[in-house]
Amino acid sequence: MSGKPDFDLYRPAEEHEELRAAIRALSEKEIAPHAADVDENERFPQEALDALNASGFNAVHVPEEYGGQGADSVAACIVIEEVARVCGSSSLIPAVNKLGTMGLILAGSEELKTTVLSEIAEGKMASYALSEREAGSDAAAMRTRARQDGDDWILGGGKAWITNGGKSTWYTVMAVTDPERGASGISAFMVNAADEGFGVSKTEKKLGIKGSPTAELYFENCRIPGDRIIGEPGTGFKTALQTLDHTRPTIGAQAVGLAQGALDAAVAYTKERRQFGRAISDFQNTQFMLADMAMKVEAARLMVYTAAANAERGSAPGGQKLGFMAAASKTFASDVAMQVTTDAVQLFGGAGYTRDFPVERMMRDAKITQIYEGTNQINRMVMARQVLA
């Protein structure tokens, strides 16, 4: 073996660290002060949207030719992580803007990209509509239909669990265009909130991420122009799976941010809280808990960044497929977030069980990261199939 290995793979570039400093400063100044109120009153974090829009952090992934920053996948993860560190609900603004437009970026026409992505770069929001009440993990069982009517498409049916539903302007909607072909008969469309026949019927009452509305959508003879289809008819499910390969690391990033926020809060609290005449951070059992929490967060962060970097390259080192790394990073990081936020509540003792401190909110917010964009059980199936292939 000759020469020295390139270790730059294992640390973010200088511009990534500059980005982190900028988004952390913005998050602490403009977003953190409102996080508890957003959660308590289950209201949309408008302050976060305004701050992210003003700074261009609302959709850093949008390519420059459409008015965005054209940031790489690692940069997008850093933005989501730093916002989640102070407010999980607010982190879903940049995260779901990417989710709601990734299929378009991967497979859409140039004209459709120009129409939609330019609006997202200007501050509008996008959502992703795949799941239905009876088609969650089994997404291919969806019942929403789309049929051609002249040059237009007519959509009928409904979608469930749509993050930022009712707040977004654009929705990537999966619908069956050929029922005889199974998953190969599913197509993807861009639906606008102003389209005839589109509506929001219900907003869920949730355990966590209470500031981000999770809604049901309906389509009653919803008419959209024919050029709003993404790619060719029948390619929608393939586009949906490719989208998740690119966006599952962003949920991992959200999980890392929640875990880091809980760890930071726990470190500060244990240094101040005194028992038996000493700060509880002086006790070895506290130190061991904090050490394990920090170790897990760093491991999760490295896996998320590696998966995001692989999304830029198209595959992982050693021949592993992008799908494996995407599923693994999301699964590992979300499990870590649940462990670390729960431990943070424990370190706060009785105070951690109250809403006077942020760790109970972070624990509630962390739970959903194990569920959406593929439950961790489904993600383990994705990983196992690739391991056995």
Active site residues: 373
Please say whether the beta carbons of 342 and 351 come within 8 A: no
**Count of alpha carbons within 13 Å of 242, Cβ hemisphere only?**
17
What whole-number distance in Å separates Cα of residue 23 and Cα of residue 83? 7
Q: What is the token pair recorded at 48?
A: 């976060």
Which has the closest alpha carbon to 243: 68, 76, 98, 379?
Answer: 98
Q: What are phi and psi of 311, to 5 degrees?
A: -65, -35
Q: Which helix (H) or strand (E) holds 336?
A: helix 322-348
- The secondary structure of 209-278 as a DSSP string is -TTS-EEEEEEEEEEEEGGGEESSTT-HHHHHHHHHHHHHHHHHHHHHHHHHHHHHHHHHHHHH-EETTE
What whole-number distance in Å separates Cα of residue 143 and Cα of residue 146? 10
How many angstroms separate the Cα of 127 from the Cα of each of 19, 168, 213, 345, 353? 25, 6, 11, 32, 33
Three-state secondary structure call for residue 320: coil
Which has the closest alpha carbon to 336: 257, 231, 236, 271?
Answer: 257
What whole-number distance in Å separates Cα of residue 135 and Cα of residue 143? 8
